[in-house]
Amino acid sequence: MRGCGRFYLLTLVMLAAPSLHAQSPSELVQVVPPQVRMQPPPANASAEELEKRGDDLRSEKAYLDALDYYRAALAKTPTARVYNKAGIAGLQLRRDRDSQRDFERAVKLDRDFADAWNNLGVSYYVDRKYSKAIKQYQKAIKLKQDVASFYANLGAAYYSQKEWEKAATAYGQALQLDPDLFERGSRNGVAAQLPSPQDRSHFNYLVAKLYAKQGDRDRALEYLRRAMEEGYKAINDVYKDPEFAALRTDTRFTQLMAARPPAIPE
C-alpha cells in the first residue's frame, strides 16, 4: 500500500489447489505451490527483536512470516505500533477481518495513533463499509492534518458513495499536500479499483478538474484525455465548468478537444 498511512491496492494471495492433469503439454496448467513458512520465531527473542524481524520480512513481502513474528512480539509486549503492523500484513494476505481487529486493538491502546485510524478506515473500505471508513479517516485527519493519503482515502470513500462534491473537496486537499499523489498511484490507486469505465471516466474528469483548478495544465490535459478514452459522456461540460476557464485558452486544449480521442473498448 508505502508507510502506515498509505492507501493500499491489496495483493491477492494465490491459494494451493489440487494438481491438474491436461490432455497435452500445451494445455498443462501450472499450479503455484502454497506459501511456505520459514523457521518459526525463536522463543528467546525479545519483543523488539521479533518486531524488527517482522519488519524485514514484510519488506520482503513475506507477509505470512511477518505476521508470525508480529504475533510473537505481541504475545510478549502488546503495543499499538505492532498491532498496526500486524494489521497491515493481514490486509496484504486478505485476512480482512483479522486485520480489522488488529487495527481496532491499536487505536484502543493509543487513541492518538492517526495511521492506525486511517488503516482501520481502509479495512472498512475494502469491506465496502464506506460510512464507517469515512468516520475513521476523519479521526485520522483530525489528529494529523498534513497527510495527503488520508484525504485521498476519504475522497475514495465519498466517491464510492457517489458523493461527488465531498469527494472533490477531499481529493483537492490531498493534491494541495501532494501534487504527485495521483501520478504515483495511477496503477494502484482509486482509479484502478473502479470497476466500470463509466466510474473511471468520471474519476479522471474529476481529477482533471482538480489539476486545472490548481493551474497544472499538463496534468489537467492528461486526465481529460483519459476521461475521453474511458468514454466520459459529459465531456462537453469542460466548456462550462469554471475550473477549466484558463485551460480553455490553451491551444493544446483546443487540439485535444478537436481530436476527441476515441473511447478504448474494454
- The pLDDT-based confidence of 189 (bands split at 50, 70, 90) is very low
Contact assessment for residue 209 and residue 171, using Cβ atoms and an 8 Å cutoff: no
User: How many CA atoms within 13 Å lie on the side-chain side of 265?
Assistant: 0
Contact assessment for residue 119 and residue 87, using Cβ atoms and an 8 Å cutoff: yes
Instruction: Determine the average pLDDT of the residues in 107-128.
Output: 95
Q: What percent of the chain has pLDDT over 70?
A: 79
User: pTM score, two decimals?
Assistant: 0.74
What cell numbers appear for 107 in the block? Answer: 487505536
At 37-61, the pLDDT tens digits run 677 898 999 999 999 999 999 999 9
3-state class of 93 per DSSP?
A: coil
Beta-carbon count within 10 A of 208 CB? 27
3-state class of 45 per DSSP?
A: coil
Beta-carbon count within 10 A of 66 CB? 26
User: Among residues 101, 96, 118, 79, which one has the least CA distance to residue 10?
Assistant: 96
Buried b (16+ CB within 10 A) or exposed e, 105-128: bbbebbeebbbbbbbbbbbbbbee
Contact assessment for residue 120 and residue 135, using Cβ atoms and an 8 Å cutoff: no
User: Among residues 95, 58, 60, 93, which one has the least CA distance to residue 73?
Assistant: 58
3-state class of 18 per DSSP?
A: coil
- Residues ≥6 apart with Cβ < 8 Å to 184: none
Mean pLDDT score across all residues of the chain: 83
Contact assessment for residue 227 and residue 208, using Cβ atoms and an 8 Å cutoff: yes
Contact assessment for residue 47 and residue 73, using Cβ atoms and an 8 Å cutoff: yes
At 135-175, the pLDDT tens digits run 999 999 999 999 999 999 999 999 889 898 899 899 999 98
Residue 21 pLDDT: 38
At 191-236, the pLDDT tens digits run 434 446 677 888 889 989 999 998 999 999 999 999 999 889 999 9
Lowest mean pLDDT among 8-17, 78-87, 187-196, 198-207: 8-17
- Residues ≥6 apart with Cβ < 8 Å to 224: 204, 205, 208, 235, 238, 253, 256
Report how far Cα 156 is from the mean position of its chain's Cα atoms.
9
More confident residue, 84 or 261: 84
Domains and CATH numbers, the chain: 1-13+40-143 (1.25.40.10)
Beta-carbon count within 10 A of 69 CB? 29
Question: What DSSP state is assigned to residue 40?
Answer: P
Q: How far apart are CA 199 and CA 205, in angstroms?
A: 10
- The pLDDT-based confidence of 27 (bands split at 50, 70, 90) is low
